[in-house]
Chain A
Amino acid sequence: MSDIPNELRYCRTHEWVSSAEDGVVTVGITDHAQDQLGDLVFVELPEIGDPFEAEAECAVIESVKAASDIYCPVAGEITEVNEALMDSPELVNDDPYGDGWLFRIAITDEADLDSLLDADGYQEVLDA
């Protein structure tokens, strides 16, 4: 059973989003996603200042099994990326909702968050 924290929002493509603090949200991949991918060996993150539309490809993560695109859950501008992943991609496996976060983004329209799944909704996606 994978861990799906109640306080986060989710995408069908297995990203999680924190609630906004001063218009900025944190984004990562879910426990289920890291489990399916297996041990990560490389993470390619966006540049600070990069603008993205919702659902645009904005990062790449690579495991021994596959390389996967990460889709930006909401429209906005990147404010911070998790530099620690450059040397230690395994942080995503060890702590997907904590030290394994991917990037922070200044959200263009906070109403976008409402269109994302809650924990129950994401659980349903996994059960389908």
Chain B
Amino acid sequence: MLIYQHSRSGRRATAQAPLQTADLSAIPKRFRRQQRAELPEVSEMQAVRHYTRLSQQNFSIDTQFYPLGSCTMKYNPRGCNSLAMLPEFLARHPEAPADHSQGFMACLYELQEILKEVTGMQAVSLSPAAGAQGEFAGVAMIRAYHDARGDKARSEILVPDAAHGTNPASAVMCGYRVRETPSGADGDVDIEALRRLVGPQTAGIMLTNPSTLGVFDRNIEAIATLMHEAGGLLYYDGANLNAILGKVRPGDMGFDVIHVNLHKTFATPHGGGGPGAGPVGVSERLQPYLPVPMVAREGEHYHWLTEESCPESIGRLSTFAGNAGVLLRAYIYARMLGGEGMERVAEYATLNANYMLKRLTDAGFDAAYPERRATHEFILTLQRQAKELGVNTMDFAKRLLDYGFHAPTTYFPLQVPECLLIEPTETESREELDGFIEALCRIKQEAEEHPEQVTGAPYNLPVKRLDDVRAARELDLVWRPDNN
């Protein structure tokens, strides 16, 4: 039910201050609205109940296990949020002079230093306001590097077929042509195919390691050597950093530039539609091109690095220092964990994924890469169930909702048919993991004995199967009460 359907003319929230008619005489008539705004007219109680009911119908990390692969839906400590909301942070005006912002700038400076250490890069800029913006900044720096050397022939960026869709999009936004590199049967980049694609036209490669296939690419050093010998650079998509935090560093693998999704790994919820933060880290040769502003320290004093001090910078991605609230939460989280805690994040994220993979394959599910150990996530393929029982991955996913679990990622990565990409994260208890495993096993049994029970799911939710085809074909973003 929409809130407009509760609306009755003249109804208002009586708990608020008495109604006053505002004096609009100072606003010229031509700027004033001629018709009433089409806002719902409801009591305060109705508004509270309406939105509370909606929130109860939602699945969220606060209410359900949420193993959405490639999204790292983990618990974000409330303490990080409380500290980031201290009034001294919240009330700081973005144009406040550096002298009045030393505490805030000290946090950002230390976060830059922590991210340098975690990623093994030479320098970090925090300003990109999301993962995709971090990617854009990263590729723009690769471009700036080649341009500064007068190396104009490099027109291509290589992207593995398992990559997130944002990778090729970022490369195209920076004016590059995208060449897709295939994955081998074991999930690693097919290095012979890569060798054929690399040449003087190659500006760089964008890799996620561990990859979206849930495996750590064992050839990464060979790939780095191959690229560097050809004069290309390596871009690291930090989407799966949770798996390697404190264990292995992209800088040590040979990467030249990286972006980190603070809103996945560092205490800001992911998948909520923002805000995010996608800081970029670079090796020495890309340092001059980092986006501004950044924070520098001289003695005990912090100051901003801007266009004047960094003339070769690719420029600004946002007016100020990125999403300050997200950066502060990340800083607090990193300080709470320390180096030792970060290692535990990677260890438990990986242990939980491997525990689930083992139990599920023992129960008769097919792993997409059976000979490989999982990283922080793994892929099952339900191709056999789809073929033999007529119950596909989407049916399993919908039925999981009835059992009270958010479904894993479905049908991604694209090259694994009928796949479920499962990422438990480090913050779930063993009981929670077992509950999910048992639910999947029961659904498999249902599919074998009464397939229609699964293909007809969900049964316990306010809405059943949605018509996503019609929603995409007849896109309607402007809902109005009068034409419905």
Contacts and interface: CB of A to CB of B under 8 A. Distances in A.
Interface in B395-437: 411, 414
Interface residues of A, number: 9
B468 interface: yes
B248 to A, nearest CB: 31
B414 A41 contact: no
B468 A64 contact: yes
Interface of A: 39, 41-42, 64-67, 89-90
A65 to B, nearest CB: 5
Q: Is the interface of A mostly helix, strand, loop or mixed?
A: loop
A90 B411 contact: no
B469 A65 contact: no
Interface in B427-480: 468-469, 472-473
B165 interface: yes
B241 to A, nearest CB: 25
A41 B472 contact: yes
Interface of B: 165, 411, 414, 468-469, 472-473
Given A64-B468, A66-B411, A90 B473 contact: yes
Given A64-B472, A89-B473, A90-B473, 11 more contacts: A39-B469, A41-B472, A41-B473, A42-B472, A64-B468, A64-B469, A65-B411, A65-B414, A66-B411, A66-B414, A67-B165
Contacts of B414: 65-66
Nearest to B414: A66
Q: Is the interface of B mostly helix, strand, loop or mixed?
A: helix
Nearest to B473: A41
A39 B474 CA distance: 13
Nearest to A42: B472
Contacts of A64: 468-469, 472
A70 to B, nearest CB: 14
Contacts of A67: 165
Contacts, number: 15
A67 B166 CA distance: 12
Contacts of B468: 64
A90 B474 CA distance: 12
Nearest to A90: B473
Contacts of B472: 41-42, 64
Nearest to B178: A57
B300 to A, nearest CB: 52
Contacts of B469: 39, 41, 64
Q: Which are the 6 A-B pairs with shortest beta-carbon distances?
A: A41-B472, A39-B469, A64-B468, A41-B473, A65-B411, A66-B414
A125 B451 CA distance: 31
Nearest to B165: A67
B303 to A, nearest CB: 45
A93 B297 CA distance: 61
B182 to A, nearest CB: 12
15 contacts: A39-B469, A41-B469, A41-B472, A41-B473, A42-B472, A64-B468, A64-B469, A64-B472, A65-B411, A65-B414, A66-B411, A66-B414, A67-B165, A89-B473, A90-B473
Nearest to B472: A41
A46 to B, nearest CB: 16
B10 to A, nearest CB: 42
B342 to A, nearest CB: 35
Nearest to A62: B472
Contacts of A42: 472
A67 B414 CA distance: 10
A89 B475 CA distance: 14
Most B-side CB within 10 Å, residue of A39, A42, A67: A39
A66 B165 CA distance: 10
Contacts of B473: 41, 89-90
A39 B468 CA distance: 9
Nearest to B475: A41
Nearest to A41: B472
Contacts of B165: 67
A61 to B, nearest CB: 13
Nearest to B410: A65
Most B-side CB within 10 Å, residue of A41, A67, A90: A41
A90 B469 CA distance: 10
